[in-house]
Amino acid sequence: MSRSKPKYLFIGLGTMGYSMAGHLSKLKDIDLFIFNRSKRVSKKWLSNFKGQEFIKDKFSEIKFNGLILCLKDDASILDILFKQNFIQLIKSSGFILDHSTTSLELINEVALNDKFISKNLSFFDAPVSGGEMGAINGTLAIMYGGPNSKSNVIKKIMNSYSSSITKIGPSGHGQLTKMVNQLCIAGLLQGLAEAITLGKSSNLNMNKVFDAISGGAAQSWQMDNRFKTMVDDSFDFGFAVDLMIKDLRIALKQANLNDLNLKTTKEVLKNYQKLSRNDFGNLDTSSLIKLFNL
């Protein structure tokens, strides 16, 4: 008798999840289902990739080997798992692979939930880095925390949409690493915004400036991918300001618990909040440079 394929449910087809689920759908030895709040997005995804839309009434008997989440925040995850009761769809000894960026409190709240404990589930906090293009190209960097069990299973899943996977440590260490990641990005973008503003105000040829400095000590992913679009005042892509505000708040809360005063991060957060108040919350985080014209 042939062995049935493992069944996974991918929840959250946003900027990142849409392409991540698309790459996962190309694995031939799994059955993939997708669920998204917007039916329009689900229909679009199904027209481009192989899988099935999960509908509770239609698939009430299905039990999944694992849920893969890529959602906005803590509240969205708690709503899906417990208010909408998706956790009941996971087989005993199954897993939750969470690619969202969340607080450490979220991980504890899930792990201490009676339904989670009774099913003997495993939870992996596995936030991603690499932006929308990383998701589209399947080259995301993933930092994750969690138990050692099922590592081969979740790595196979993550390999479909990433080029770098690093297990940092136990549960929570993935999110802590993402906090470090976001602080690095925020500081770099503030520096780029100030540097580009100085160059433009001095009437420099910014294409030549990029050629001159991008191969030296100033080089970074942010410079390679955002310098020219910042010069061109183009920000309708990538990771949104409002999401960075959420992430920096999480990181600063942890810093306070560690008795750290992260002055630069606090200032950058204020700048992002100013952008959001001026209706730029959906722009890419490199839009920090717009503050010099407000």
Give domain status of residue 55, yes or no: yes
- Going from the C-alpha of 147 to that of each of 61, 70, 75, 112, 285, the distances in angstroms are 28, 20, 24, 15, 33
Cα distance between residue 96 and residue 118, in whole Å = 14
Q: Which residues, other chains included, contact 294 with Cβ-Cβ below 8 Å and sequence gap of 6+?
A: 274, 278
159 with 202, same domain: the answer is: no
C-alpha 283/C-alpha 67 separation (Å) is 30
Per-residue pLDDT of the chain (294 residues; tens, 9 = 90+): 346 899 999 999 999 999 999 999 999 999 999 999 999 999 999 999 999 999 877 777 899 999 999 999 999 999 999 999 999 999 999 999 999 999 999 999 999 999 999 999 999 999 999 999 999 999 999 999 999 999 999 999 999 999 999 999 999 999 999 999 999 999 999 999 999 999 999 999 999 999 999 999 999 999 999 999 999 999 998 899 999 999 999 999 999 999 999 999 999 999 999 999 999 999 999 999 999 988
The 3-state DSSP class for residue 41 equals helix
Q: Is residue 81 part of a domain?
A: yes
164 and 232 together in one domain: no
First and final C-alpha spacing in the chain: 68
Whether residues 126 and 187 fall in one domain: no
Which is catalytic among the residues 7, 167, 178, 246? 178
Q: Are residues 166 and 223 in the same domain?
A: no
Give the total number of structural domains in the chain.
Answer: 2
Residue-level pLDDT at 294:
84
The reply to whether 162 and 204 lie within a common domain is: no
User: How far apart are the C-alpha atoms of 134 and 130, rounded to whole Å?
Assistant: 5
Residues 164 and 188 grouped into a single domain: no
Same domain, 145 and 28: yes
Q: Is 107 exposed, middle or buried (0-12, 13-18, 19+ CB in 10 A)?
A: buried
pLDDT of residue 3: 64
Q: Classify residue 89: in a domain, yes or no.
A: yes
Q: So what's the pLDDT on residue 28?
A: 95
Q: Judge whether 178 counts as a catalytic residue.
A: yes
CATH number at residue 116: 3.40.50.720
What distance in Å separates the CA atoms of residue 110 and residue 152, rounded to the nearest whole number?
A: 23
Are residues 112 and 255 located together in one domain of the fold?
A: no
Domain assignment of residue 2, yes or no: no
Residue 142 lies in a domain: yes
Q: Domain end: 170, 185, 208, which one? A: 170
Structure tokens at 31: 């059955």
Residue 112 falls within a domain, yes or no? Answer: yes
Residues 259 and 120 in one domain: no
Q: Are residues 95 and 188 in the same domain?
A: no
Last residue in a domain, options 170, 188, 209: 170
Supply the pLDDT for residue 152.
95
What is the model's pTM? 0.93
Q: Which domain holds residue 111?
A: 7-170
Note the pLDDT of residue 2: 42
The CATH number of residue 253's host domain is: 1.10.1040.10
pLDDT at 293: 87
For residues 211-223, one letter each, b for 16 or more C-beta atoms within 10 angstroms of the residue's C-beta and e for the rest, the string is: eeeeeeeeebebb
Per-residue pLDDT, 9 = 98
Which domain-ending residue is among 170, 200, 233? 170
Supply the pLDDT for residue 58.
Answer: 74
